[in-house]
Structure 1
């Protein structure tokens, strides 16, 4: 194991499915990386007993401080705070180059809120710590979707459509991916119908033209009609998509590749990947054997990125 890439695992909300996935997947991922789990022995033992899963002998820990009683399948401020601290420890390990990358298991946003954590997700934390415009990109080898806006109310999305911000986003996206061809979605139905259904597309189009001119190539498409952009014919032409808001991009992605999809944070000095699913309280600790496909793919992508 010593010669394999080291991956810090942020353990996520311990009342959810993350710890079960970590325990059940340990043997498999240990064949291609050295996982270091940000959780202490006491909480790990609690989870092991609840799940009736034996802790592997080579289950290496970074002992994130914290003590509380697990409440399987429940929203809990203590679990929320611990998942946050586990994430912070994983970030420190990456910053200090003690690991090659980090992979995060799912948090619960309501638990974070109850713990008085002001962030709505991992990406916001990373932006704040590194003072960089981190980009949230989700997907799998068949298709990736980057989000221009993320966890904000739908009523506020149009206010965020600013030409300069889109220019910066597209430039950062290209510098991180070197994509040859990227589909950019319009905000409004029918791409605004020439302004009849909305004028945001004019701002998006202006940004695209500016970036394509700078790059000397038509990397980014003109704003595509959202309801046809993910058709089979369109997906033959595009692997990378940029969506203007969360559900616009993630609904088709998850309909097509629900179990395989992962989350990758771009434009950061460290490598971070994540599963693309939530805590699944409805099946946590109920011997439902949650799928680990997203987790395995996230670990493999973290390793791939660490080698570039």
Structure 2
């Protein structure tokens, strides 16, 4: 895509999620904030009719919109709707229907194709429901495996991001009784490498501090409550330390780790399984958590919650996480550009660091 001065702000695609969930409500509330156009050009992948269905029940929504069918007509001064379909679609807020899932996937696949083609620079995905999206045509358990497959990534990591913590997951949507076989030294070392790379490339942290949680209660109590910590996790940490540049510590007992606020002492935390990481994250992220798929060649973020059918269509959804997801997407795009530029010109990186230190010292003196 040709860039002009008007496109200095990144173009961010937003998939609509399940039509009967809170996705479109969140999107409408978020793009109603005029500050959004100061940092990016948003494109909603849905249909004008679907957006208007929810907009009618939200009288406080206030934004200028342009409908487009091709990307040459993007207006950086307005919210853009890329019409993925023209037909009338039955929208029944709060109901789990095949139609809701079908058009959620149409929105997603259209947005992803635009991302592959370079028509948009980043993607923010509204929530989908696995039960009505997992089909023969879409044989995935969620966004992450689909994006991994589509972009040919060897491995990705689900990284939950907030201002006060970042939590990565060793295993994601795995039944609890199947978690233990996935706790291997190879998997832990591999995920730690990905977390380290993401901290450096996506967040600008040169030498990150990473904490690793244990699998068992009390991190195994030195083998009294399970032996994965002694036989697998500790050896994995030792192996990674020999080849990585991060400061890595653990395994920590998960309950004490978060209860004592240790998560704020580290740049990232590697949790062993889904709920071990996401329960404390969602409890402590103050409603502004973001799901970021690290390891992809593109930038994709998402709110840290689901479709919330219980409040869909009631104008009750809190857009804080969606707003954070868009800001985080933009921040990571900019950080990756800076990372690439610094690799091309190492002297510039040193100069920027010296200038930053000088500014810090001046602030301290003042």
TM-score (norm 2): 0.78
Where does residue 21 of structure 2 map in the other structure? Answer: 16
Aligned with 1:205 (options 234, 237, 241): 234
Where does residue 93 of structure 1 map in the other structure? Answer: 114
8 Å CA contact 2:9–2:41 kept in 1: the answer is yes
8 Å CA contact 1:76–1:114 kept in 2: the answer is no
* Structure holding more helix per residue: 2
The count of corresponding residues between Structure 1 and Structure 2 is 306
What pairs with 1:1-308 in structure 2 (closer than 5 Å)?
Answer: 2-28=7-33, 29-49=36-56, 56-57=64-65, 58-65=78-85, 67=87, 68-113=89-134, 117-132=138-153, 133-178=155-200, 180-201=208-229, 202-215=231-244, 217=245, 219-288=247-316, 290-308=317-335
**Which whole-Å deviations, capped at 9, do the CAs of 1:146-204 have from their partners, x for residues lacking one?**
01101111111001111112111111211111352111000011211222221221211
Which range moved further: 203-212 or 104-113?
A: 104-113
Give 5+ residue unaligned stretches, structure 1.
none
- Please say which structure displays the higher CA radius of gyration: 2
Which range moved further: 155-164 or 128-137?
A: 128-137
Structure ranking higher on relative contact order (CA contacts 8 Å, 6+ apart): 1
8 Å CA contact 1:126–1:134 kept in 2: the answer is no
Give 5+ residue unaligned stretches, structure 2.
1-5, 66-77, 201-206, 336-366
Aligned-residue CA RMSD (Å): 2.0
TM-score (norm 1): 0.92
Structure 1 residues 239 and 207, CA, compared in 2 at 3 Å: closer, same or farther? same
